[in-house]
Structure 1
Amino acid sequence: MTSVPARFIDLIASVTGHVQHMPLTPALATSLNSDFPADGPWLAELEALCRQGCAEGWLCAREAGGIKFGRAIKPGDATHGFSVDVVEMDDIVGPHHRHPNGEIDLVMPLDAAAAFDGVARGWKVYEPGSAHSPTVVGGRALVLYLLPGGAIEFTAA
């Protein structure tokens, strides 16, 4: 298995450095969609690396319940205390979980009609204490999620 490329970490760090002192609210998604737009070069490069990572096995190397997943980066200084996970989902509802510190998601559809929790492409932010059953409809999508402190609690719905 190939290790996580430095460029992937650098791209993530540019976002985590940008948001590290901001409250995780839905308004942050608006800011991220403006500063790191779905049709911009930053996302194009990151998406290409995510696809490469899935092909090479340094992303989404595990599978359970029809969902491919994996933690690419543990929380630490390089990513301003955020962990980085990537999942590949295909018309599926994932396991219910709670975000003690919030969650920042980046949706990258692999199929044109795919959407994650109502977002077709771009950013979605969940506030601290929120919970959901992550859902992809319309095909396959990659979802990169950033967790402050790596905190996530899987729960019953």
Structure 2
Amino acid sequence: MTPEKFQAQIADVTREIKGRPLDKTLQAFLNERFPATGPEFQAIAAACRDAVAAGWMCDREHGGIKFGRVVKPCPEIDDFSVDVVEMTDIAGPHHVHPNGEIDMIMPLEGDAKFDGHGGGWFVYGPGSAHRPTVSGGRAYVLYLLPQGAIEFTRASA
């Protein structure tokens, strides 16, 4: 797996969601079109495992969370950025999603859940905020951020 091949895989997803509002309708669409047990989802999950093993994904660590921006916003993926984190039973830093956030949740060990959701897709709308939390095990979470917009805060909740 190379960064270029990974970006091409993500482009298959972003092409299908380009211009759609980030809301529960989009979440339902993603879970139907790219289900967690489906071949596209599983291929992206395998690519993440391979890229982490190769050392170019989740290549930074802070506070027990491995992370990294894999792709900056660009026309090839419809101006989304791609970040991937690896988390095990931990809460991350509080942040706001000015344009929303699309999460691809990939449990790796145990009954890992991200913000209470198991394997699949979860969508936060524009202006939402949270302290991202993985509980019940270990997971990768891939974040698609429109225009790469994220604002870390000092809030604790």
TM-score bucket (shorter structure): over 0.9
RMSD: 1.1
Q: Distance in 1 between matches of 2:24 and 2:133?
A: 18
Q: Which of the numbers 32, 38, 56 marks the counterpart of 1:40?
A: 38
Equivalent of residue 87 in structure 1, options 79, 85, 88? 85
Q: 1:137 aligns with which of 135, 138, 150?
A: 135
Which one-letter code corresponds to 1:68 in the other structure? K
| Aligned partner of residue 111 in structure 2, secondary structure | coil
Match of 2:52 among 49, 54, 63: 54
Which runs of 4 or more aligned residues in structure 1 lie more than 3 Å from their structure 2 counterparts after TM superposition?
A: none
Which residue among 144, 150, 153 is the counterpart of 1:146?
144
Gaps of 5+ in 2: none
- What does residue range 4-153 of structure 1 map to in structure 2 within 5 Å? 4=3, 6-153=4-151
Determine what percentage of the aligned residue pairs are the same residue: 58
* TM-score of the pair, normalised by structure 2: 0.96
Task: Give SS of 1:49's match.
Answer: helix
The TM-score with structure 1 as length reference comes to 0.96
Show structure 1 runs of 5+ residues with no match.
none
> C-alpha separation between the residues in 2 aligned to 1:58 and 1:20?
27
Cα deviation, residue 112, structure 1: 3.3
Cα deviations by residue, 1:120-157 (Å, 9 ceiling, x for unpaired): 10000000000000000001100000000000000122
